[in-house]
Amino acid sequence: MDDILTWQARAQAAAIAAGEVSAEALMQATLARIAEVNPRLNAVVSLQDEGVLLAEAKAADNRTPEGPLHGLPIAIKDLADAKGLPTSHGSPAFAEQVAARDSLHVARLRAAGAIVIGKTNTPEFGLGSHTYNPVHGVTCNPYDKARTCGGSSGGAAVALATGMLSIADGSDMMGSLRNPAGWCNVYGHRPTWGMVPATPEGESFLHPISTNGPMARSPGDLALLLGVMGGPEVRQPYGRAVPDLDLRGGAKGARIAWLADWGGAFPYEEGIAPLCEAALAVLAEQGPEVEPISPPFDRDLLWHSWSTLRSWAMAAQLGPLLDAPETRDKLKPEAVWEIEQGRKLSALEVHKASEIRSEWFRVAAGLFETYDALALPTAQVWPFPVEWEWPREVAGHAMDSYHRWMEVMVPASLAGLPAIAMPAGFGECGLPMGVQLIGPRGGDGRLLRLAQAYHELTDWPGQRLAIT
């Protein structure tokens, strides 16, 4: 038998259900891979005791499979709660916090038979696409340990790229499922907003911009995980059903709009755009037509709307930590900056930002009357040195905030549209990059089918599994 850790999650689960492989054997292999690789990369944190995990896997072997993830190990992004494990958010303010319950999507994963082995590392509060924090340290790129893996689902992407996991959860406000996927040669899917509902607590109506979603080494495994994580929650106002996840025959007749650098508005480091264009040319071999188009919306309006709504959301979420004497000195500078920016806003400024957002949604909907997907790179820079906090410039253009260099992620995030990050291959620097396909609201199934057609021609994760 070849290395089971290189198998797709679907194959692992099928083998366990058929009695061909035991959940205990898969767990043993998983823990051995983590022991071998993780000390050099720091992707998995808060790992549970080996004896406890092997006992749980053995118990899974002694009962009828409970669901499509039966016996599969999974580690949860350290922004979500997994009962009995710490939820540090990468912050000293929560370093000792142990979850008393599962987040909604984690409960769904467990109900489908997954075994939670620990957490995956994330930036503090998920802010910024570079996975480092004062609690667990930095997570390195599996293709170059001196470089960042991205974020905020960076630990998840690294665990997938190195075979420590076959599936992983993540979350995406500003590209956190897409940027690390592109930089680690795996797939990440930001679902249509509402398809993977958040835990029903707190405010749930105003300007949602973040969502949980799946990561994997194949579109088929994205679909497997989306089918478990997704589906309406009656206590949430914006639920949406999971679409048809049959991934066959999804490319013929499709039209894809290549947005390139948004008419020169988005600076890219050398080599990124050509690599993504080459990836789209490969996809075109399966039948889709790829057509360059002009910018459909004003870049400055998009950024103004995004940065306004993001800071407003962050001020509401993190503001109490800045106000509390016991936590105010434990926040990273970027978190303090977001809170301060958000607290300067008036209600009418927030409303104006939402009006811009609404107009962009309408414009995008018009584009999808002609095109099945819009395409952009997953990043504007190659993975940068781990000692940097964030890139201060991109291709000679100064960045005016810690997240401006991720501006290419805004079009999908602002409108709540589904987007899939696909590996685009490797640049001359030897580092991976991704290309994202953005679809209409509810178009997740079509995107997954396009990604599957591309994967059948490339399988970049299978070609370049990063077992360092």
Cα Rg, the chain, nearest whole Å: 21
Please say whether the beta carbons of 331 and 322 come within 8 A: yes
If you write DSSP's letter for every residue of 196-247 in order, what string do you get? SPPPS-S--SS----EEEEEESSHHHHHHHHHHH-S--TTSTT---------
Q: Among the options 46, 77, 171, 210, which is catalytic?
A: 77
- Angstrom distance (rounded) from CA 155 to CA 130: 10
Please say whether the beta carbons of 384 and 391 come within 8 A: yes
* CB crowding 341-355: b at 16 or more within 10 Å, else e: bbeebeeeebeebbe
Structure tokens at 375: 């395409």
- Angstrom distance (rounded) from CA 407 to CA 409: 5
Helix (H, G, I), strand (E, B) or coil at 293: coil
**Does 305 participate in catalysis according to the annotation?**
no
Closest by Cα among 206, 182, 186, 210 to 198? 210
CA 399 to chain centre: 23
- Angstrom distance (rounded) from CA 315 to CA 343: 6
- Angstrom distance (rounded) from CA 281 to CA 301: 31
Q: Among the options 46, 88, 152, 413, which is catalytic?
A: 152
In the chain, count H helices and then E strands. 14, 17
Residue 6 to residues 12, 163, 255, 286: CA-CA distances in angstroms?
9, 6, 33, 26
Please say whether the beta carbons of 177 and 156 come within 8 A: no
**Does 77 participate in catalysis according to the annotation?**
yes
Place of tokens 């993975």: 383
Q: 401-407 long-range contacts, Cβ below 8 Å, gap at least 24?
A: 401/307, 401/337, 402/127, 402/128, 402/334, 402/337, 403/127, 403/128, 403/129, 403/174, 403/334, 404/303, 405/380, 405/381, 406/129, 406/174, 406/175, 406/179, 406/379, 406/380, 407/266, 407/299, 407/303, 407/380
**Does 119 participate in catalysis according to the annotation?**
no
Structure tokens at 269: 């480091």
Q: Among the options 46, 88, 176, 305, which is catalytic?
A: 176
Helix (H, G, I), strand (E, B) or coil at 385: strand
Please say whether the beta carbons of 178 and 436 come within 8 A: yes
Active site residues: 77, 152, 176
